[in-house]
Amino acid sequence: MNSVTGSSSPLSVSVPYAVARSRHSAMQAVAHVINLWRVRARSRAQLRTLDDRMLRDIGMSPDAADSEVRKPFWVA
């Protein structure tokens, strides 16, 4: 018999723990995606400020930079 729940089933304690862990994992995944979107948006905004000389320095053509900055933040 489980002293915590008064039940003999081992699942009575592990199921709530597993649900809490899966919620935590889901929240971590959501936070990761939001952070990734923020990084993309910031990187594209910074790329937008570079002139042609700076773009050449990083090995990117103006057309490629223009194509990249036009992408929405959720597109890789």
**pLDDT attached to residue 12:** 56
Check: CB of residue 73 under 8 Å from CB of residue 41: yes
pLDDT (tens, 9 = 90+) of the chain, 76 residues, equals: 544 555 555 555 576 777 778 888 999 999 999 999 999 999 999 999 999 999 999 999 999 999 999 999 999 9
**DSSP annotation of 13:** H
Rounded to two decimals, what is the model's pTM? 0.68
**pLDDT attached to residue 24:** 85
**DSSP annotation of 71:** S
